[in-house]
Chain A
Amino acid sequence: MGERMMHGADPLARMLWRFPPYRWCVAVARRLGLTGRTAVIAIPYLWLLLFFLVPFAFVLKIALAEALIARPPYSSLIEWSEDTYLTIKLNIGNFLFLIEDDLYWKAYLNSGKIALISTLGCLLLGYPMAYAMARANPAWRNVLLMLVILPFWTSFLLRVYAWIGILKNNGLINNVLMGLGIIDQPIVMMQTDFAVYVGIVYTYLPFMILPLYANLERLDVTLLEAAADLGCRPTKVFFTITLPLSIPGIVAGCMLVFIPAVGEFVIPALLGGPDTLMIGRVLWDEFFANRDWPVASAVAIAVLLLLVVPIMLFQHFQSAEAEAGV
């Protein structure tokens, strides 16, 4: 085999070639039809396989088992009986239970509602911010971008706790309003859905702003000038040119907020009241309070299936966009 031909003038490759293990690896890889190109493509797939598909298979396995008071607290799917029969028992009762018990349905719907309203809140708040950042003086843009990212440097948990201090009955807002004499009774904000919305919108706002900013910053300003030149007034320019062209950014931002918000557990647990029903909390309770791993796993899989739909829509939209070359 022509060493020179295969590695060209790359000194690192030539040095490595002197070591037999490297040569053996190359030979094996080549026998398997694995080139550098396919290896590079294989890495993300391998990652997904190891850290997504395999754990998912475990969860699915537990979801199809029966709860036991044992260790681990679920039954095995595969059993040997009479030494010759291999029995595979799949228990779909957990999934049927999710459908039968309206607690789960309500939790799913409520999670979806809270995520949807929070996403809208993020969009309404994030769009003007992203727009202002994209139109700001270039020297200022990076500073503004830093300010958006800055909260990530503090623990997420601490920031949510800080909101308790702001929202509680003798918290910042109520104290200020009462001190100014605007109200004489504190407004109850903690342990309400409102507090959950505030928490989610606050936490996920950067995920809305960043893709929107990336999109709006790329927007060709001459398009806006061209529209103005053709007699279009500034507000109409926004609705006919800027907004339609920023749809990919809006979709990306909404997905990045909506998907994690559906499964959010910490924010409703800390800021929400006992009647703030979200699927993340139900899952937590099933797992840690009831120790019913199979039902908890079934809940997790149901969440995943419900989220796959918007993710697939997103993917479809993105590939359509890429095809259109916008």
Chain B
Amino acid sequence: MADVKRAIENVEPWNDPQAQPYVRIENVTKMFGEFTAVDSVSLEIYKAEVFCLLGGSGCGKSTLLRVLAGFETPTSGRVLIDGVDMAGIAPYERPTNMMFQSYALFPHMTVENNVAFGLRQEGIAAAEISKRVGDMLDLVKLGPFAKRKPHQLSGGQRQRVALARSLIKQPKLMLLDEPLGALDKKLREETQFELINIQEELGVTFIVVTHDQEEAMTLSSRIGVMNAGEIVQTGTPNDIYEYPNSRFVADFIGSVNVFEGRIVEDQPDHVRIESQEAGCPLYIDHGVGVTSGSRVWVAVRPEKIEITRDKPAQQDNCAAAVVDEIAYMGNQSIYHVLLESGKKLRITRPNQSRTSSDSITWEDQVFVAWHPSSGVVLTA
């Protein structure tokens, strides 16, 4: 999946020390009784960013979003939007608008009235409201459906009504709770691009909550991975995927092979790791800065592992294996191979040609190998 966002935007305000964050979340904690839903989260989000909060269910991402919308009061910490402290500001007075996971369209109102609802609260003249509603419905391609009721629309159309209804208020901060969650796969992919196009056209700052890592990768300028109420890593999709800082992140984003091992040699430019699971010395071309002998994990992505019949020349990062299972996916094949230690590896290879005369098949003796730059050493 292409990273649409990054192709268009080359500016990275989070790397610019001069840039002022637009939304500041400072040590926000939210407790429900004894349960800590959000655990001292701090984030800085810049204008016109699409920031994804990614995590499994119950990780606190939706609660954090509700804190931003004003539906939940943080137990401690504060939220600033465009420099204004949001403490004590009711949801109906906040410069935020939320798109609900269930869309929460008003069932007794037409599409038009749903979209106009926000503007009517501001006391804007009827003529201007109808003009802006018309423009907004054109933007989300719902012009012909203006007079329909929500139950007469398809899932994708309802999603766009919900988007239009929130966007028409021109919020400083738009909050989207699983915006594509209720759509089927094909529609979701189309809508992802549409959503980003609209976001760029209007320049609104988005905070998107999702449990779908693919959605997060596609939509976001940056991702905050959450687990058990805490932000475990923040970074661009590329950072998160290629340089995860923990086994949790490595495993949550995409699939990964993890070898447990011990540091044998730690230099600034490389490390050597001894791993029983891998059955071969592991060599990685970056330093870690931990004491020799400490327990670490090496993560290698399935697509970065080569699979060959002949033994490669390299000694490190190379092991003998037996093919256990092959799954043909069309564009790629997934191989499950068993190392001598009994460890199962997942390897993906693109199917570049239609047929292969010497294709690897079940029970074949093979060698797996990867480049020193492919592995990532994880200490947690």
Contacts and interface: CB of A to CB of B under 8 A. Distances in A.
A226 B92 CA distance: 9
Given A229-B91, A231-B92, A231-B169, A222 B117 contact: no
A324 B104 contact: no
A220 B149 contact: no
B100 A230 contact: no
A116 interface: no
B90 interface: yes
B328 interface: no
Given A231-B169, A232-B121, A325-B151, A226 B100 contact: yes
Interface in B44-80: 69-71
A225 interface: yes
A229 B102 contact: no
A227 B92 CA distance: 8
A234 B71 CA distance: 13
A279 B107 CA distance: 41
Contacts of A241: 106
B174 to A, nearest CB: 11
A65 to B, nearest CB: 51
Contacts of A4: none
B121 to A, nearest CB: 4
A75 to B, nearest CB: 56
A307 B91 CA distance: 47
Interface string A215-239: 0000010110111111111101000
A117 interface: no
B169 A230 contact: yes
Contacts of A245: 107-108
B121 A225 contact: no
B353 to A, nearest CB: 51
A231 B122 contact: yes
Contact of A225 (B91, B122, B149): B91
Given A220-B102, A222-B102, A241-B106, A227 B90 contact: no
A244 interface: yes
Which of A228, A233, A234, A236 has most B Cβ within 10 Å? Answer: A228
A69 B247 CA distance: 99
A238 B164 CA distance: 23
Interface in B78-102: 90-94, 96-98, 100, 102
Given A245-B107, A324-B151, A229 B117 contact: no
Contact of A229 (B96, B107, B149): B96
Nearest to A226: B104
A326 interface: yes
B121 A229 contact: no
A137 to B, nearest CB: 13
Contacts of A325: 107, 151
B211 interface: no
Contacts of B91: 225, 228-229
A241 B98 CA distance: 17
B149 A324 contact: yes
A318 to B, nearest CB: 16
A228 B70 CA distance: 10
A225 B166 CA distance: 13
A228 to B, nearest CB: 4
A286 B361 CA distance: 98
A209 B357 CA distance: 77
A275 to B, nearest CB: 44
Closest 6 CB pairs of A and B: A230-B118, A231-B121, A226-B104, A222-B104, A325-B151, A228-B91
5 contacts: A222-B102, A226-B104, A229-B166, A231-B121, A244-B108
Interface of A: 220, 222-223, 225-234, 236, 240-241, 244-245, 324-326
Given A231-B169, A245-B108, 14 more contacts: A222-B100, A225-B69, A225-B98, A225-B100, A226-B104, A227-B106, A228-B71, A228-B92, A229-B96, A230-B165, A231-B118, A233-B92, A240-B117, A241-B106
